Amino acid sequence: MTHGEILRAIETILRDRLNHAHMDAFAPTARLNEDLYLDSVLILEIMLALELDHGVALPEEAISRQDLETVNDLVNLFAEPPATGDRPMPGPAHDLTFARAEQEAAERVGVHGEDYVDIKVHCFVSNVCHAVKQKQLDHRPFFFGVWDAGFSVDERWRLAYHTPEISHDFFRGWFERLYGARVRQWYRPDVSKTENLATMLELLEHKKPSEFLMVMLDLFHLPERENKFNQNPFPHYLMLEKTDDPDVLMVLDPDFRWEGRIEKAKIVNAIMQPTVGGGFIFDAAEIRAPSAGDLRDYFLACFHQDENLLTSAARDIVRAHVEGRNGVALADLPAALRELPVISIRKYALEHGFAFFWRSLRLSNAEFDVICDHIETLIQEFKALHYAVMKLGQTEDEALAESVFEKLDALDAMERVLKRQLAETYRVWCDSHGLLHAPRHDVEEAVA
């Protein structure tokens, strides 16, 4: 198909198949997310419709492309042959060589430098870690709990990153133990939203400059804010401050690296949505550096070396739809795993785990960069899995299930390699601090 034919096909898919609400902005130069509000899932749906309805398919390498900004970029994936060449894949685990990289550490370059890319993949964690960074303490170890952070699978075998049953008590308790600051929940689920709003406004009016007030709102109802996943609803924690204008609030959203002024009425509307409810307050003045022993215990509380929770859950969900458990069918599978991209990006937190140990042990940048490449490959393979799941659900062709399970097995193997490397690095870190690899009450299981 020519460039023009593919462009018209995409326009038809958006208008007729997806009933897209933002067609007035459609143009070759239109930005996929900012102008057309297309998230990664909708882009995959366009790709799949081009394959199934128009006979135009892409190799899997192109499905994971990260540089798609405009409609033209998407068209060019199909109109021009993608570049050939094998994509780097994680190989077998290599023996880590813990050679000291004193010059790199002294010069503060690479993973040791202050310009090292900060990862934002969990809104609650990003908010409290913002205050840790302001105290010039290392926030990276708190991300130990993110790569396998909680999610839910309901009785209809649907995956969700947020439900009313999902609590942040685990993170609250460990933040208090590690960094010393109490995270108080001001939001009361047993009272009305109007009463909770009044509580929040009172706290906002009288809080100390060192205090941070967190609130959950539905980001879908703040169109001024980037909604990368175009979720509806999109429960999300951010922090609020007063401004010199009583009708405007300052919004601090560390998870999406955004800060700006928004009308108070719009923020209140997003808070009052029935899809959300939650809020905390904590005082950054109480934050202190964590002890090595507490960091060891937190790592062990978070680390599931022999189980990859998301991959296991996705496998169970696919199998349930293939087998028709609880009345679900293959056609329900794309909706059941729609939030897979929101959860799979949490695997980027593995970089923070490695980065913390790398900095402490003053290890080489080169080996860290290789590990980061493997983490990136893992996350992009989740995207390829999602495409295969959508194809299986839309075609309802059970023969495609085998390739989906093969992708799940490959993902499982990739993550196990990374976790084995992380476990080895952790043990060296414990040795460098004179710590048992497990607490004394678990001495039978310790490997020291």
pLDDT at 152 (0 to 100)? 96
Nearest-angstrom CA–CA distance, 400 and 376: 25
pLDDT at 440 (0 to 100)? 66
Within 182-230, residue ranges assigned H as helices are 193-206
The DSSP code sequence of 109-151 is: -GGGSTTSPPP---HHHHHHHHHHHHTT---GGGGGGTTT---
Q: What are phi and psi of 420, to 5 degrees?
A: -65, -40
Contact 337, 317 (CB under 8 A): yes
| Long-range Cβ contacts of 239-248 (<8 Å, 24+ apart) | 239/127, 239/130, 239/212, 239/213, 239/214, 239/215, 240/200, 240/204, 240/213, 240/215, 240/267, 241/204, 241/213, 242/204, 242/205
Torsion angle defined by CA atoms of residues 256, 261, 262 and 265, in that order, rounded to the nearest 10 degrees: 130
Mean pLDDT value of segment 257-273 = 94
Q: Which residues contact 214 (CB under 8 A, 6 or more apart)?
A: 124, 127, 237, 238, 239, 279, 280, 281, 282
Please give the distance of CA 267 from its chain centroid, rounded to a whole number. 23
Q: Give the pLDDT confidence of 377-425 residue by residue, as tens digits.
A: 999 999 999 999 999 999 999 999 999 999 999 999 999 999 999 999 9
The DSSP code sequence of 303-320 is: --TT--HHHHHHHHHHHH
Which among 25, 2, 231 has a CA at the least distance from the CA of 11?
25
**What is the CA angle 194-196-201, rounded to 5?**
95
Average pLDDT score, the chain: 88
Helix, strand, coil shares, percent, the chain, to 5:
55, 10, 35
Hey, what domains does the chain have and what are their CATH numbers? 3-79 (1.10.1200.10), 102-121+143-159+290-445 (no CATH), 182-286 (3.90.70.30)
Q: Distances in Å between the alpha carbon of 419 and those of 7, 304, 349, 424? A: 43, 8, 12, 8
Looking up tokens 């299981």, which residue turns up? 445
Dihedral of CA 304/298/348/251: which sign? positive
Nearest-angstrom CA–CA distance, 206 and 208: 7
pLDDT level of residue 85 (50, 70, 90 thresholds):
very low
Contact 81, 216 (CB under 8 A): no
Q: Give the pLDDT confidence of 180-217 residue by residue, as tens digits.
A: 999 999 999 999 999 999 999 999 999 999 999 999 99
Nearest-angstrom CA–CA distance, 88 and 86: 6
pLDDT level of residue 120 (50, 70, 90 thresholds):
low
Nearest-angstrom CA–CA distance, 371 and 421: 9
239: three-class secondary structure by DSSP: strand
pLDDT at 165 (0 to 100)? 84
365: three-class secondary structure by DSSP: helix
Which among 144, 114, 178 has a CA at the least distance from the CA of 353?
144
pLDDT at 39 (0 to 100)? 82
Residue 109, pLDDT > 80, answer: no
